[in-house]
Amino acid sequence: MTKVELGPDGKPVVPEEVLGAVRTLIEWAGDDPSREGLLDTPKRVARAWLEYCQGYADDPAIHLSRTFEEVGGYDEIVMLRDIPFQSHCEHHMAPITGKASIAYLPKDRVVGISKLARVLNGYARRLQVQERLTAEVAKCIWDNLQPHGVAVVIDAQHGCMTGRGVRTPGVGMVTSRLLGSFLDDERSRKEVLALMGY
Ligand SMILES: Nc1nc2c(ncn2[C@@H]2O[C@H](COP(=O)(O)OP(=O)(O)OP(=O)(O)O)[C@@H](O)[C@H]2O)c(=O)[nH]1
Ligand SMILES: [Zn+2]
C-alpha cells in the first residue's frame, strides 16, 4: 500500500493524479467536475476509498496474537454470529454488504472475541470476491489459533447485482468454509451450522 501522508488538518493528503482520475471519471459519467457541488468530491472520494481499503494496511493475523488459556476448561464452540461488514467487489468496486458468522472449536486457548470481527474487517476492507474473503478469514484463524475446527459463513448482497447489471435486489450470496472437525465430523458440522442459524 502507498504510504499515506497526513495534512495539517490530520486528513490524508490526496496526490494530484488521484484527484485527476476522479475528475476524469465524473466527466466521463456525464457530469461537470468543475461545478460547485463537485469541486471537493474527488478529494472526498479518494479519502473514502482509503477507508474502504484500510485492510491493505492491516495484518489480520496480528489480532490473533494475544490468546487466553484460563477459560475454565471450556472446549465447546465459540462463535460470533451475524457480524455486519462491508467490502467491495474487485470486479466493479461496488459495495458488498452482509453478515458473517465465524466459529471455532478451541484447543487449549481462546482469543478475545472482538478479534474475530477484526480479522473479518482486515480482509473485508479490500477489493474482494466473497469466496476469497470467506477462505482468508477461515485460514487466518486456522493458522494462528490452531483450533480443532473453524467455520465461516458469509451471506452478502452485491451492489453490482442490485444497482446495476442483472438488478436483482435482495438476493443473497452465501459462501462457507469449514475446516478441521467442522469439515470432517458430521455432528460438529450440523451443530455449528445450526448455531449459526442455517
Ligand atoms: N463469484 C463471484 N462473483 C462476483 C463477486 N462479486 C461480483 N461478482 C461477479 O463478477 C462477475 C463479473 O462478470 P463480467 O461478465 O466480467 O462483468 P459484467 O459484464 O459487469 O457482468 P454483469 O454483472 O453480469 O453485468 C459478475 O457475474 C458479478 O456478479 C464475488 O464475490 N464472487
Ligand atoms: Zn461486482
- Domain membership of residue 107 (yes or no) is yes
Task: Please state, in angstroms and rounded to a whole number, the distance separating the CA atoms of residues 130 and 154.
Answer: 8
Claim to verify: residue 98 and residue 180 sit in the same structural domain = yes
Claim to verify: residue 79 and residue 25 sit in the same structural domain = no
Q: What is the pLDDT of residues 94-115, one digit of tens each?
A: 999 999 999 999 998 899 999 9
Q: Ligand 1: which of 160, 164, 168, 176 to mutate, judged by most atoms within 8 Å of the beta carbon? A: 160
Residue 88 among known ligand-binding residues: no
CATH number at residue 8: 1.10.286
Claim to verify: residue 156 and residue 111 sit in the same structural domain = yes
Residue 93 pLDDT greater than 80, yes or no: yes
Claim to verify: residue 140 and residue 98 sit in the same structural domain = yes
* Model confidence pTM above 0.90: yes
In the chain, which ranges are continuous DSSP H helix?
Answer: 16-29, 41-52, 114-124, 130-145, 159-162, 181-184, 186-196
Strands 95-105 and 110-111, bridge-based pairing: unpaired
Q: What is the pLDDT of residues 77-90, one digit of tens each?
A: 999 999 999 999 99
Claim to verify: residue 82 and residue 43 sit in the same structural domain = no
Q: Which residues are catalytic?
A: 89-92, 130, 158, 160
Tell which residue, 161, 90, 172, has the closest CA to residue 124.
90
Residue 2 pLDDT greater than 80, yes or no: no
Query: Mean pLDDT across the chain, nearest whole number?
Result: 96
